Structure 1
Amino acid sequence: MKKFLIAAAMTMAFGSASAADIVDTAKSAGTFKTLVTAVEAAGLVDTLKGPGPFTVFAPTDAAFAKIPKDKLAALLKDKAALTKVLTYHVVSGKVMAADVKPGMVATVEGSTVTVKANGGKVMIDKAHVTKTDIAADNGVIHVVDTVLMPKM
């Protein structure tokens, strides 16, 4: 019985150690370096490592590369504008792809994004969702090919 309890405790300890939050999941994917840099610059790391749950529409490095370098550099230096843009990519709760319904969805930023589905392809505003349901222990990431921009 004692060996069973030790084994169970070790399984629980290692199981929780392998779980990753939104930030760590994005870092380990390797395609969200600019997003992680932006989250750090905006001071949102602790929030996205928090309990959530969160649904993040995560732009890839290629999505950020579509923004002219001077505009991206300026955005990364403007914490208020950067925070507004990043929180526009986040929805409260854990929304898996199977649960997505077309329509207006409120973001953490306070505005809404438009979700459309056409021919099996999902769009968030003007961004295409290219990969879904990347699970994190405090939510889920859906990959988008364009940085979403709220009205400033």
Structure 2
Amino acid sequence: MQLISKLMSLAALGGLLLASSVATADGHAHPEEMAKPTIVEIAVGNPDFSTLVAALEAAGLVEALSGKGPFTVFAPTNAAFDALPAGTLDDLLKPENKETLTAVLTYHVVPGKVMAADVVALTEATSLQGDTITVTASDAGVKVDAANVTATDLEAANGVIHVIDAVILPNS
């Protein structure tokens, strides 16, 4: 129960942040500004996702994740990418490693819109890459593989983002 309460608090905070970002100078939100951004637009607008955005661009996945969806993205922060062994990210971003980079990034994406309340009930999820992500929920929080979910339910027009503190890697 404590876990669900924590997740709901994080979701509420995310909603407040989104609502405050669309308010005009007079403090009122206008309907045309209430249109939700796509997953990619959220990532581009958040400096903590600049490495993820660069990787999506290198893999040629920007257009796909800007599409209709819905998608659930477990989005690693810049700090998560920085924690990879030295040289790993540089190697992945090389054009000759585009296929491997694409596999790593699509492993972070699950088809459909899986909100935090649904994630806590899962034990696994099949990624777009094809491998299964292990999901563990406890009083300490939610983990996808070895990564901790640090923020949830960043809703986009084409799905949802859950922020994670590590890059998760496919089995194959």
Superposition TM-score, scaled by structure 2 size = 0.78
SS at match of 2:169: coil
Q: 1:28 aligns with which of 28, 33, 45?
A: 45
Size of the alignment, in residue pairs?
140
Is 1:99 the counterpart of 2:118? The answer is yes
Is 1:81 the counterpart of 2:93? The answer is no
Matched to 1:91, the amino acid is: V
Give the structure 2 partner of residue 7 of structure 1: none
State how 1:98-117 maps to structure 2 within 5 Å: 98-100=117-119, 101-117=121-137
Deviation of 1:69 after TM superposition, in Å, equals 3.4
Give percent identity, aligned residues only: 52
Matched to 2:107, the amino acid is: Y
Deviation of 1:104 after TM superposition, in Å, equals 1.7
Q: 1:133 aligns with which of 153, 156, 162?
A: 153
Deviation of 1:120 after TM superposition, in Å, equals 4.8
1:76 and 1:42 map into 2 onto residues whose CA distance is 8
- The answer on whether the counterparts of 2:114 and 2:160 sit within 8 Å (CA) in structure 1 is yes
Unaligned runs of 5+ in 1: 1-10
State how 1:44-63 maps to structure 2 within 5 Å: 44-63=61-80
1:151 and 1:111 map into 2 onto residues whose CA distance is 7
Q: 2:144 aligns with which of 107, 124, 132?
A: 124
SS at match of 2:153: strand
Runs of 4+ in 1 over 6 A off after TM superposition: none
Deviation of 1:115 after TM superposition, in Å, equals 0.4
Superposition TM-score, scaled by structure 1 size = 0.87
Deviation of 1:71 after TM superposition, in Å, equals 1.4
Supply the RMSD in Å over aligned alpha carbons: 1.4
